[in-house]
Copies of this chain bind each other. A is one copy, B any other.
Amino acid sequence: MAPLMKQARMRRTITGFSNPTVKYLRSLREKKHRKREGKFLAEGLRLLTDAREGGRLPEMLVMSAARDPHPLLEALENAVEDAGGEIVETPPEILSKITGKDNPQAVAGVFCEFDTSIDKIDRSRAPIWLVAQALRDPGNLGTMLRTGDAVGAGGLILIDDCADPFSVEAVRASMGAIFTQQIAQASWEEFLPWLRSGAGQLVAASLRDARPYRQAPYVAPCFILVGNESRGLPEEYEMACDLRVTMPMRGRADSLNAAIAGAVLAYEVLATLEA
């Protein structure tokens, strides 16, 4: 009888848009509410499975009443129940309202935000770290997390006033890497002394006194610094780098999208370190 009793205790069905839980969940799409609650939303079975396998479980699991059965969904439900989390079932229209997507995924979860102190970063864990300065677009931020996962980076360090990594858009664009990459937030004044307190090469794409990005002397742990989408990096930050590299620009433009520049550079660093 135990499983049935557990189900009776922990499951709720919500059908009304004005239900307080729905209001709470929708509020997590706004940064001020996320910060107040210390919670964020992530959606999709694949992403929530990545989280589970990485040891992160949602404290609340919200499932569409129109979901198809799936063994991974069952595993997720069981894990959340076993951990004492809450399970809520709701019509797809409400899930759509919560996540702000026309075609909602079958499942979403509420997670506790992680500790993003810079001193939680153990730089020896990985050969590459991505660093973004004043990156304003949450999609770019999520894409950098995804790229970091792909190149085996340890995580993403956010300098100065960046978009919120826990926004729905960043989490979505990260494709699960929000759960596998470490995330830190710091001002430049916190970051630079932290960086210089240990090994670490700071590299930026730059036009100033730069060498070609291919065959540059990258060494691990290599911190790849990418600047704001419209202004780029402040000159002072570029000058603090150990290595400034330049990428070919064969057309009219003089810069790449920030996430693209970071990725092209990260793949070059990876190739050099593994050579």
For the complex formed by this chain, how many copies does it contain in all?
Answer: 2
A147–B257 contact, CB under 8 A?
yes
Can you name 10 A-B residue pairings with CB atoms under 8 Å? A54-B252, A147-B256, A150-B251, A150-B253, A175-B255, A176-B253, A180-B251, A247-B267, A248-B274, A260-B263
Would A149 and B270 count as touching, CB distance under 8 A? no
A259 contacts B by Cβ under 8 Å: yes
User: Which among B54, B177, B253, B255 is the interface contact of A253 at CB below 8 angstroms?
Assistant: B177
In the complex, the answer to whether A152 meets B263 with C-beta atoms within 8 Å is: no
Residues from chain B with Cβ under 8 Å of A253 in the complex = 146, 149-150, 175-177
- Contact residues in B for A180 (Cβ distance below 8 Å): 251-252
Report the bound CA distance from A264 to B271 in whole Å.
Answer: 12
Q: Which 5 A-B pairs have the closest CB atoms?
A: A152-B250, A149-B251, A260-B263, A264-B267, A143-B257
Smallest CB-CB separation from A267: which chain B residue?
B264
Q: Which of B143, B257, B260, B271 contacts A214 (CB 8 A)?
A: B271
Q: Any chain B CB within 8 A of the CB of A58?
A: no
Compute how far the CA of A150 lies from the CA of B258 in the bound complex, rounded to whole angstroms: 13
Q: Are A151 and B250 in contact (CB under 8 A)?
A: yes
Among A139, A152, A249, A250, residue most surrounded by chain B Cβ atoms (within 10 Å)? A250
Q: In the complex, how many angstroms separate the beta carbon of A267 from the nearest chain B beta carbon?
A: 5
How many Å from the CB of A136 to the closest CB on chain B?
12
Q: Is A93 among interface residues, defined by CB-CB distance under 8 A?
A: no
Q: Note all chain B residues with C-beta closer than 8 A to A263.
A: 256, 260, 263-264
Residue of B whose beta carbon sits closest to that of A174: B253
CB proximity of A74 to chain B, nearest CB, Å: 21
Q: Which residues of B contact A151 (CB under 8 A)?
A: 248, 250-251
